[in-house]
Structure 1
Amino acid sequence: MMTFVKPLALGLMMATPAAAFDMGAMTPAERQDFRAEIREYLMENPEVLMEAIGVLEQRQAQQQAVADDAMVLSQADALYSDINSWEGGNPEGDITLVEFVDYRCGYCRKAHSEVEELVSTDGNIRLIVKEFPILGEASVVASRFAIATKLTLGDDAYKAAHDALISMRADVNEASVRKLARSLGLDADVIVAKMNSPEVSAVITANRQLGQQLQINGTPTFVMQNEMVRGYVPLDGMRDMIAEIRQQG
Structure 2
Amino acid sequence: MMIDRRRILAAGLALGGVALLPNAALAAADPTPQAVFHDPGAPLLGNPNGNVNLVEYFDYQCPFCKKFYPEMIDFVRKDGNIRFIMKDWPIFGEESVYAAKLTLAAGTHRPKALDALMRAPGRLSHRRTEEILAKAGFDIPALKRSYARNKAGIDGLLERNNAQADGFALSGTPAFVAGRVLFPGVPRMEDLKAALAQSRA
| TM-score computed with the length of structure 2 as normaliser | 0.80
Number of residues of Structure 1 aligned to a counterpart in Structure 2: 185
- Which residue number in structure 2 is paired with residue 25 of structure 1? none
Structure with the higher fraction of residues in helix conformation: 1
State the alpha-carbon separation in 2 of the partners of residues 114 and 61 from structure 1: 30
State the alpha-carbon separation in 2 of the partners of residues 125 and 132 from structure 1: 21
Q: Counterparts of 1:39-54 in structure 2 under 5 Å?
A: none
State the alpha-carbon separation in 2 of the partners of residues 174 and 67 from structure 1: 37
Counterpart among 60, 63, 76 of residue 11 in structure 2: 60
- Aligned-pair identity (%): 26
Seen in structure 2, the aligned counterparts of structure 1 residues 193 and 174 have a Cα distance that, compared at 3 Å, is: farther
Please tell me the residue identity of whatever aligns with 2:161: N
- Which residue number in structure 2 is paired with residue 134 of structure 1? 91
- Which residue number in structure 2 is paired with residue 168 of structure 1? 120
SS at match of 1:86: coil
Give the C-alpha shift of residue 66 in structure 1: 5.9
SS at match of 1:116: helix
Give the C-alpha shift of residue 182 in structure 1: 2.2
- Which residue number in structure 2 is paired with residue 123 of structure 1? 80
Are positions 1:81 and 2:38 aligned together? yes
- Which residue number in structure 2 is paired with residue 225 of structure 1? 179
State the alpha-carbon separation in 2 of the partners of residues 148 and 209 from structure 1: 21
Counterpart among 67, 80, 92 of residue 110 in structure 1: 67
SS at match of 2:133: helix
State the alpha-carbon separation in 2 of the partners of residues 199 and 126 from structure 1: 22
* Greater relative contact order (CA < 8 Å, ≥ 6 in sequence): 2
Seen in structure 2, the aligned counterparts of structure 1 residues 201 and 237 have a Cα distance that, compared at 3 Å, is: same
Give the C-alpha shift of residue 69 in structure 1: 4.1
Seen in structure 2, the aligned counterparts of structure 1 residues 108 and 170 have a Cα distance that, compared at 3 Å, is: closer
**Could you tell me whether the CA contact under 8 Å between 1:97 and 1:223 is conserved in 2?**
yes
Give the C-alpha shift of residue 191 in structure 1: 0.8
SS at match of 2:176: strand
- Which residue number in structure 2 is paired with residue 56 of structure 1? none
SS at match of 2:53: strand
State the alpha-carbon separation in 2 of the partners of residues 226 and 175 from structure 1: 39
Q: Counterparts of 1:1-249 in structure 2 under 5 Å?
A: 60-62=11-13, 65=19, 69-73=23-27, 74-150=31-107, 154=108, 157-169=109-121, 171-195=123-147, 197-246=151-200, 249=201
Give the C-alpha shift of residue 95 in structure 1: 1.1
State the alpha-carbon separation in 2 of the partners of residues 92 and 193 from structure 1: 31
SS at match of 1:128: strand
Question: How large is the RMSD of aligned CA atoms in angstroms?
Answer: 2.5
State the alpha-carbon separation in 2 of the partners of residues 67 and 97 from structure 1: 13
Give the C-alpha shift of residue 167 in structure 1: 2.2
- Of the structure 1 ranges 200-209 and 73-82, higher mean CA displacement relative to structure 2 is found in 73-82
Give the C-alpha shift of residue 117 in structure 1: 1.8
State the alpha-carbon separation in 2 of the partners of residues 180 and 195 from structure 1: 18
**Could you tell me whether the CA contact under 8 Å between 1:98 and 1:130 is conserved in 2?**
yes
